[in-house]
Amino acid sequence: MKSGWKSRTISDKALQARRGVATGADSAADTKSYFDLTESLADHRADADDALLLTAMFDGDDDISVEQINTQPFDFRTDEDVFAWVAAVLGKSPSARLIAKAILKEDWAIVTESLHNNGYHIDTDNHIITLDNYAMTATSLGHSAFFRNDLLLNMVRAMRDLWHENRFAATALEFGAEEVLLLERVRAADCDTFAVLVAWELRGEGFSDIWRHIIGTEEGDMALAFSHYLERDPRALFDGRALAQAFRVWHEDDQRVDACDHETLEMLDDLILSRDGESPFGDSVLTKDRIEDLSRLPGGVIYLEGLGGRIRRDPYFAGLNDPINQAHLFQIIYDLKVTRVNDVPFRNRDLAQKIFPHGEMRENWSDV
């Protein structure tokens, strides 16, 4: 199964590289809705064609019927039409509705751009969510059920990721590099698990096409495991056991796990470079309670309750098996333990001071 990870942790370097490969029709579609993520949020708010505030997106008619919602895609003309449809559909999911209320406490803008099938990107500095439009215009999205539903599910993942960002971003760098790798893996698996839950809820509201869509995607194995568990025990929907099963199945796909780890390691590289080589990490341990809390649903259910210890110690969940990712992580750890002076690496800081005295030493140390 072809797998990938859709996350905010796509590094700026990787994002710029993906933008740079667009040609032909892709470039034409990119030009229509493209903007520089490094610009200020105020600049985007001033351009109604580029960005829409999340508060405006979810400020629609709650009483709209399923039949009316299903006719909206045929009238897509602008990105705002697409966002209005997404908000109307998600308003029918209790879980999506609760998480939307939670994240709307802060001002975030939403735009579309071609991310070359990478789902979404969250710019935490400028408070901007970018959804992949697959190099398609709003009208084209309206006529393609596959890409339209994929965009909607990516919005669900982005909302869940933003929920995590608001709750955990301030403390994420308390941990060491290896702990952050596990943290991001659990977070990515949870975002896909939450998308399965929302698709299931929408199925019960009459949007069966969205459930069929997720079954046909990379997360189809998770969706089937979730539904099969519910067939055996319908009560598992309410206590989180069916979601825990979907979370477990996420780790069965090695390509999915390896892609997640690769993106996290790229993020760590960018983070270290932004600190001029100085270690940005702490030495806290990711406890089982924090792991379990990552699975907290807006309604209060913690579907990984009691499983945090196993996730932390079981190689099935915490193992790093890809040799390239292993080498990448070891290089990051090595770089953080080395003191560099004039691009010469030293294991011993005192020795570096003796060889490069009188202010020749770099001000920022890479020593942990």
How far, in Å, CA of 297 to CA of 240, rounded? 9
Q: How many domains in the chain?
A: 2
Do both 148 and 50 map to the same domain? yes
Model confidence at 345, pLDDT cuts 50, 70, 90, reads low
- 119-133 pLDDT, tens per residue? 999 988 888 999 999
Residue 174 has pLDDT above 70, yes or no: yes
Higher pLDDT, 364 or 307: 307
Model confidence at 8, pLDDT cuts 50, 70, 90, reads very low
Q: At 315, list the tokens.
A: 């190689």
Residue 229 has pLDDT above 50, yes or no: yes
How far, in Å, CA of 111 to CA of 50, rounded? 6
Domain membership flag for residue 262? yes
Do both 342 and 259 map to the same domain? no
Q: Nearest 5°: phi and psi at 119? A: 80, -80
Do both 219 and 367 map to the same domain? no
Do both 259 and 350 map to the same domain? no
Q: Give the type of residue at 184.
A: E
Do both 216 and 353 map to the same domain? no
Do both 17 and 34 map to the same domain? yes
Do both 42 and 82 map to the same domain? yes
Of 10-19, 55-64, 309-318, give the range with the top mean pLDDT: 309-318
- 16-25 pLDDT, tens per residue? 544 454 434 4
Looking only at the bridges linking them, the beta strands covering 344-346 and 339-341 are: antiparallel
Domain membership flag for residue 130? yes
With both helix axes pointing from N to C terminus, report the angle between 94-103 and 79-90 in degrees, rounded to the nearest 10.
120
Domain membership flag for residue 6? no
- 270-314 pLDDT, tens per residue? 888 777 656 777 888 889 999 999 999 988 999 999 999 999 999
195, 155 Cβ separation under 8 angstroms: no
Residue 40 has pLDDT above 50, yes or no: no
Mean pLDDT of 84-98: 93
Domain membership flag for residue 5? no
Domain membership flag for residue 7? no
Do both 283 and 323 map to the same domain? yes
**For the chain, what is the mean pLDDT?**
80
Do both 127 and 157 map to the same domain? yes
Domain membership flag for residue 353? yes
Domain limits for position 364: 338-368
Do both 213 and 258 map to the same domain? yes
Do both 122 and 212 map to the same domain? yes
Do both 302 and 348 map to the same domain? no
Higher pLDDT, 281 or 221: 221
